[in-house]
Structure 1
Amino acid sequence: MTTYIRKAFLVPWKPNLQSVRYRNKINIQRPALPHYERAKVLRVVQPMYNKPTISRRPSVELCLKPTSRKKNDEEENMYAKFLAKEMFIETEQSQFLGFFHTSPISEEEKFKVRVALLKHKGTLKVYGRRIAEMAWANSYYEPALCLFKSHTTLVFCPDGSPKTVRSIFKIFRRVPALLLMGAIVDKRMMDVSELEKYSKLSDLTTERAKFASLLNVAAGGSLVQNLSSLQNVLIHQLTLRATQLQSSGSETDGDNSVEGKLDKTE
């Protein structure tokens, strides 16, 4: 009895599946026409292949000397010309132009870099190789086109002082996706090592002050006095001449007033 109960309730029932085709076999040689709507879709998505070009030259010449296809004259792209003009103007107005190799980076990180550069009035822009060739053709910046082999990002900054370059180094050290390759500072091309040395320098005014103090010490403390002696003499003579002219003018005015009074009394 237990065996019947086990077979009836405890053992799971496993159905047997068998695929049965109720229609005729598929005719591969003469397939049936599809539905009208499906036929339209199939006609639209049917690929179109270009016809092979037939050449009258023998196959040997075609293998040894491949035919050079003439490039059609490209249409003038006014937007590309506008971008090239904008790039050239920004390059001329910027004392610092940095070239950065760009790896995959999110827009959020780019936005943070742009905000940090705005504190120094700098901008982060991306131009293509073709735009750079149009902008820098036959100019001083044409040798820098060799840095546009891959994805390149440009940083324009109107101030090229060592202090600004030092702060730019600090900004891009936090962004490893933008790697500095070189820069143009005051129309001089510098690599990374030269930029690091340049960033450690002080400002131009302080360097001038140091140079002037060094010359003054070398001349025994009388360099400034010797250089300004002629100017002081000239200023002294001009002040004396001005006082003489004022005194002579006041005397003539006094004589004229006395003569006028005498004429009135007469």
Structure 2
Amino acid sequence: MESFCHKGLLYIKNIPHLELVRYRRVNVQRPAKPHYEKAKVLAVCEPRYPKFNYGLSPEVTCRKQTELKSKKIKEENPYELIIAKECLHWFNQSKMVAFFHANPIKGEDQFKARVMFHKHNMAIKQYGPNVIKYALENTKYSAVLPLFQSRTAVVFSPELQLAQLLKISKRIPQLILMTCIAEDRLLSRNEIVMYSNLPDLTTARAGLVATLNSAVSQVLSNITHHQRTLVSHLQKHAELLQKPEET
């Protein structure tokens, strides 16, 4: 009994082991995409073999490459052309067009941003690169095409409201203001801040009129200074001459 306990009970070891259990079937035809880091490693490790054109002259090789490029030309989408016409209409009818780099944003925050812009009679839009290319290529707005290499949001306003635009952009950190078109001029971020601190056109005109009036009055006072001085001296002299006669 002692030997049985010694050999059978005291020296029995329960070695833990792992069992892999799959709860769903693997889709072999459409496998899941790998993790971002793993995808980068796979992209770097992917082999690339040089393409040799044995037995072909350079002319034939160039001709084949041009044919392949011509076949790869994407056909124009009618729906994208309609959206491009609408986009160009927004650009032509707006006095202020602002461009924001759009970082990932929640749907709720995006709705709040649309509401804030709508309160000041502004509209925020997002277009794809093909639509922007159809709309702005060969126009006066073609200089802003490089801004649409990534996700870009565009804000249109029928009035010039740079101060309100800066206030709203500070409340939405997911949208980063890059540049703005105001009065047919492309402004940088510093120029937008400087432009927003300037008074409106009516106040500026009133200030200009006041400055011109002050300059005119100053010139008139300088011109008539000697005459007024002479007249005052003559009046004092006449008063001095009249005093002895009265006494």
TM-score when normalising by structure 1: 0.58
**Equivalent position of 1:103 in the other structure:** 103
Q: 1:170 aligns with which of 125, 143, 167?
A: 167
CA root-mean-square deviation? 3.4
Does the 8 A contact of 1:122 with 1:156 survive in 2?
yes
Q: Does 1:219 align with 2:206?
A: no
- Structure 1: state its 5+ residue gaps: 16-41, 46-54, 224-266
Q: 1:108–1:213: structure 2 CA closer, same or farther, 3 Å change rule? A: same
User: 1:130-145 alignment to 2 at 5 Å?
Assistant: 130-145=130-145
| Corresponding letter in the other structure for 2:142 | E
Deviation at 1:76, TM superposition (A): 3.5
**Equivalent position of 1:192 in the other structure:** 189
User: 1:226-245 alignment to 2 at 5 Å?
Assistant: none
**Equivalent position of 1:75 in the other structure:** 75
Q: 1:13–1:142: structure 2 CA closer, same or farther, 3 Å change rule? A: closer
Q: 1:107–1:14: structure 2 CA closer, same or farther, 3 Å change rule? A: closer
Q: Does 1:207 align with 2:204?
A: yes
Deviation at 1:156, TM superposition (A): 0.8
Percent identity, please. Answer: 34
1:186-206: CA deviation from partner (whole Å, max 9, x where unpaired): 111101110010011111111
1:110-152: CA deviation from partner (whole Å, max 9, x where unpaired): 1111111011111111112221121123222112212222221
Q: Distance in 2 between matches of 1:97 and 1:107?
A: 23
| Corresponding letter in the other structure for 2:192 | L
Q: 1:127–1:10: structure 2 CA closer, same or farther, 3 Å change rule? A: same
Does the 8 A contact of 1:216 with 1:222 survive in 2?
no
Deviation at 1:57, TM superposition (A): 5.7
Structure of greater Rg: 1
**Equivalent position of 1:30 in the other structure:** none
**Equivalent position of 1:117 in the other structure:** 117
Q: Distance in 1 between matches of 2:14 and 2:213?
A: 108
Count of paired positions: 183
Deviation at 1:75, TM superposition (A): 3.4
Q: 1:8–1:146: structure 2 CA closer, same or farther, 3 Å change rule? A: closer
Deviation at 1:93, TM superposition (A): 1.3
